[in-house]
Chains A and B, each alone.
Chain A
Amino acid sequence: MDTLFRLVNLQQQHYQQQSDQSNSSRTSSSSKSSTQQNQPHHAQLLLETAKAFADKNSGRVKELVWMLNELGSPYGDTDQKIAFYFLQALFSRMTDSVSPWTTFGHVACNGAIMDAFEGETKLHIIDISNTYCTQWPTLLEALATRTDETEHLRLTTVVAGGGEAVVQKVMREIGQRMEKFARLMGVPFTFNVIHHTSDLSNLNLSELDVKDDETLAVNCVGALHAARRRDSVVSMFRSLRPRIVTVVEEEADLNFGSDGFARTCNERLMLERAAGRAVVDLVACPSDDSAERREPAARWSRRMHGGGFSPVAFSDEVSDDVRALLRRYREGWSMAQCSDSAGIFLSWKDQAVVWASAWRP
């Protein structure tokens, strides 16, 4: 919530400036309170949501989140976008503590990446994910403490979609924190952001600035399903000659309807409710799911095979780590090897909900 608070503050400042400019006759002493009054609905909402969450006022949180969800949109104006991102981040932060939904993928991928990077010192990760770089602190810590060598890590984050201004703000915050944290860990670290607005398959590879002497990993969490030309994306990954590609997607083993809405969205909600997410009972799913279509793991696997990749099994250690992770959550979560495809599933009561896999050319 810290980063989010800052984001809200940024927005407040923005409005502060605006109101200063347009109301130069106002006295400065009243500027603070007037900021409060002038504050558009969104910023106020964000603040209140954050506070309600901190107070563990679940009823209030529900209300506010519902409103935010109504108002926020990745396609709207800056306010709406900020509200949208905020909601996303809030959502994942909240649920992390009660559900291993995102952490599962992170632990599995980081484990596979660490194994693939074994013995290498110049590392480059191209990260195309929807989890706001929350995957990387634990990897940085692992690099700092569990390796024999001094690794230098470059992290290039590809942010798909979103408005320029918002992405800039959000990613600058995140980048600064990543850099600070890497310094804390003592890992030489470089952070770059690429904001890419069209289909992922159009990504300009030269922008990624992959160097010859680097060991490359491509990490794709919840991002493949947003691409239209998926086979092209896979080929593109292949052309980068990565040491490893890690893919995490929500598992959809039902066909989606003709209206294009992802059933898994609602399934996910159902499952999450069943899993006991006590805090929020969302009415609507995060909206980035609505337009995109998910595929089952078996289909993603076929695409990867078709693109020239072979699966890499997660090591015993990584599997142990994942299982240990799941033990810290409620009963009902389990890890399962995929029978008809590569990778592993996170399952809730034996229903696969998230798929994680690793591949090499």
Chain B
Amino acid sequence: MATNRFLCEICGKGFQRDQNLQLHRRGHNLPWKLKQRTSKEPRKRVYVCPERTCVHHHPSRALGDLTGIKKHFCRKHGEKKWKCEKCEKRYAVQSDWKVHLKTCGTREYKCDCGTVFSRRDSFITHRAFCDALAEETARVAAATNMNNISISNNNISYHFIGTNPLGPATPQHFSPIFKSISTVDQPIDPTNRRPSLWPHQSTLVHESVGSIGTVSSGSAYNDPIPCLNPSPSPSDQYQLNWVFGNKNGTVPSLFSIQTPSASTSATALLQKAAQIGATSSDQAFLGSLGYKCSNNQGKDGNKFCGLYGTTPEMSIHGSDLESSAVTDLSTINQFQMYPSKRQNIQSEDGGGGGQTRDFLGVGNGIQVQPICHPSSVNGWI
């Protein structure tokens, strides 16, 4: 077990990395400082999709992290053979499907105003037009203490029309939006040892993928979840959590301690947005905001990433974070760790020229057949 040597002076919580402690400290309203993670150069986007017809095949559209591109590949080009019976959603990754099954049909969405929805899309539409949104923005903006997010849990009673389409009888047992930030909906095991994106076939991955590396791939992914909220939890519901961190735990705490001042409102609301009926894939994206892949400073024997001639950066897969930063200038300075994604794209000249690899270890501008066809990729799952 890795040592948690960075301790919070307020609550004693331990963290493996100083950065996580700093973010945690913000939750206590303590002064904090986040250092720039990698040195001067912007994160390189060097992972391309092996599928030639894909928009991400071209170096100019490369993604910045290996896991992201693998996930993308699977989900976009893999065969979606896992299907939910209730809602017809289909998944290429079995674990996505399993995760979805747990929440499909069980979820209820509750607005600040008290209205409950069983349908996500009607909830979202309602939310956008609900007066409670306006109220809440005003309130949260006024709050300096992040813990005041709990204000939102007050049911603002609005006379609301066209409310619960299912009638009053529907039980509501799950309100993702309004859990307080310290609770975690789905307990997640932060010490997951899964070394690959496809947990059931990890060895197969290593064999098939050859030069990608074996042991080192483990180290790339197995960075023990740099959870911002490392409360050990019993059951591991999500197969991908080791990649994306403690999903529900990470997302709320990340968002909630995001901003000190004026954009408190934006990110507080963003936190809720993050919880809006999140499906597993959504959570995966959002969860990836929880800094994964940390220890690899590029210097070490992170051979896996070294193969790609790049320093693996933190994945900021969830664009939400940066978008909100972009829209509020005052926060930009604080996000020192996050060079703007869009800047990255524009300043890239062909994705780091010559260093582009697709995640199967081939590349360098060579047109090659992907090692596996989508259907066989799926065989790994």
Show the binding face of A for B, using Cβ within 8 Å.
Answer: 1-3, 5-6, 50-51, 53-54, 93-94, 96-98, 103, 107, 118-119, 121, 134, 136-138, 140-141, 144-152, 174, 176-178, 180-181, 183-188, 316-317, 320, 323-325, 327-328
Contacts and interface: CB of A to CB of B under 8 A. Distances in A.
Contact of A53 (B131, B161, B266): B161
Nearest to A176: B134
Contacts of B122: 96-97, 103
Given A137-B125, A320-B89, A186 B342 contact: no
B278 interface: yes
A53 to B, nearest CB: 5
Interface string B267-279: 0011011001010
A12 B129 CA distance: 20
A200 B121 CA distance: 30
A324 B87 contact: yes
Q: Is the contact region of chain B dominated by helix, strand, or loop, or is it mixed?
A: helix
Contact of B160 (A2, A140, A176): A2
Interface stretch (B195-203, B296-304, B318-326): B318-326
Contacts of A327: 87-88
A275 B278 CA distance: 31
A150 B121 contact: no
25 contacts: A1-B159, A1-B160, A2-B129, A5-B131, A50-B161, A54-B159, A93-B161, A97-B122, A121-B342, A134-B129, A136-B128, A144-B273, A145-B320, A148-B72, A149-B345, A150-B319, A180-B137, A181-B127, A181-B128, A181-B133, A186-B270, A186-B319, A186-B323, A320-B90, A324-B88
B68 interface: yes
Given A3-B129, A97-B165, A145-B285, 11 more contacts: A2-B130, A2-B160, A118-B55, A119-B61, A134-B125, A138-B121, A138-B124, A150-B341, A176-B134, A180-B134, A183-B327
B214 interface: no
Interface string B303-330: 0000000000000011111111011000
Interface in B277-295: 278, 281-282, 285-286
Contacts of A94: 161-162
B158 interface: yes
Most interface-central of B56, B61, B273 (chain A CB within 10 A) = B273
B160 to A, nearest CB: 7
A136 B125 CA distance: 8
Contact of A185 (B87, B320, B326, B341): B320
A119 B270 contact: no
Q: Which of A96, A174, A180, A186 has the most CB of B within 10 A?
A: A186
A181 B282 CA distance: 18
Contacts of B272: 184
A187 B124 CA distance: 15
